[in-house]
Amino acid sequence: HAKALGRNRYCHFAPAMLEAVGERLQMGNDLRAAITAGQLQVHYQPVVELASGRIVGAEALVRWHHASRGWVSPARFIPVAEELGLINAIGERVFREAAGTALTLHRCAGLEAFQISVNVSPRQFVTPDALEGWLEHMRAIGLPGRCIAIEITEGLLLDERPEVARRLLEFRNADVEILLDDFGTGYSSMAYLKRFDIDSLKIDQSFVADMAGNGSDRAIVEAMIAMSRKLGLYVVAEGIETEAQRKVLCEAGCDFGQGYLFSAPVPRQRLLDMMRRPANGSER
Ligand code: C2E
Ligand code: MG
Ligand code: MG
Ligand code: MG
């Protein structure tokens, strides 16, 4: 019986699996072509100070518009890029673009401290040369370290290869803040936060989403914020969609947030327009 079931399962499984493999291959090829053709774009999602609504920075998020598929989510193509070794090329492109935008804003009166954060995959930390040029590039264009932050994930903190700690330290020494993205979804503990000198935590949007209706998620979020404050870390909450969520987070002592309530990720020019608008900085 088991054998029959196994064979049956095999028959059902194989075409789907082949399809998935083919799909990934196709996506990989298209992605490679898009990188070469310079077709990846970067959008920016504003990060606001929750108490005032003032925009203090933005997260750079890669965007890919595919000729026939339309917009492809980075949640789908980033893992493919990591697998195929394309993530360094993408990361480099996003960083250059983000640094240019940060420089433009840095030169605007009153926006010298504006910070743009860039997501960095674990792979980029262990590939020789992948991150080497970043600090050099910032120095070359005259962009202070504090205008850029990098977003890493909890898994990276478990990687004990010496180059990981060394690169994190190089960024820190250059005033580039280190943010721990999607906090709460991985395996790391508070002990790692101390060991690596993280500046801020980004509370994953899944906790924020369920906070209003779910007492235990609210308790988790409140505990994360309380612990972070005791450790001297800033807290950024992700995926804030409602005023009720903003209020709870604010009352719990969360400093910053991002989400559709404030703004979706927007193209570079739209971000620049938002920041130059005199209305920015007014109390909400
Ligand atoms: P992330 O770094 O956690 O980015 C936050 C994601 O939440 C973004 O999805 C953003 O568009 C989305 N988001 C923002 N506000 C809201 C909200 O109010 N509600 C909901 N439901 N979602 C919201 P996006 O742009 O699709 O990116 C997905 C993930 O792909 C990112 O998660 C990040 O892990 C990865 N990613 C994006 N760009 C890059 C990149 O340049 N390099 C690397 N390595 N990864 C990237
Ligand atoms: Mg992020
Ligand atoms: Mg995140
Ligand atoms: Mg996320």
pLDDT at position 129 over 70: yes
Q: Is 204 in the pocket of ligand 1 (CB under 6 A)?
A: no
Which residues share a beta bridge with 71?
65
Q: How far apart are CA 233 and CA 224, in angstroms?
A: 11
Nearest CA to ligand 1 atom 21: 239
Q: How far apart are CA 269 and CA 227, in angstroms?
A: 37
Average pLDDT over the chain, rounded to whole? 89
Q: Is 102 in the pocket of ligand 1 (CB under 6 A)?
A: no
pLDDT at position 9 over 70: no
Q: How far apart are CA 162 and CA 164, in angstroms?
A: 5
Contact 209, 226 (CB under 8 A): no
Dihedral class, residue 129 (left if φ above 0, else alpha if ψ from -120 to 50, else beta): left
CA–centroid distance, 154 to ligand 1, in Å, is 16
pLDDT at position 19 over 60: yes
Helix (H, G, I), strand (E, B) or coil at 245: helix
Dihedral class, residue 178 (left if φ above 0, else alpha if ψ from -120 to 50, else beta): beta
Q: Is 239 in the pocket of ligand 1 (CB under 6 A)?
A: yes
pLDDT for the residue 5: 52
pLDDT at position 242 over 60: yes
Task: Give percent of the chain above pLDDT 70.
Answer: 92
Nearest CA to ligand 1 atom 29: 75
Q: Is 119 in the pocket of ligand 1 (CB under 6 A)?
A: yes
pLDDT in tens, 139-178: 999 999 999 999 999 989 888 899 999 999 999 999 999 9
Higher pLDDT: 129 or 209? It is 209
CA–centroid distance, 10 to ligand 2, in Å, is 38
Q: Is 122 in the pocket of ligand 1 (CB under 6 A)?
A: no
pLDDT for the residue 197: 84
3-state helix, strand, coil in the chain (%, to 5): 50, 20, 30
pLDDT in tens, 184-213: 888 767 777 777 889 999 999 999 998 877
ipTM of the complex: 0.97
Length of the chain: 284
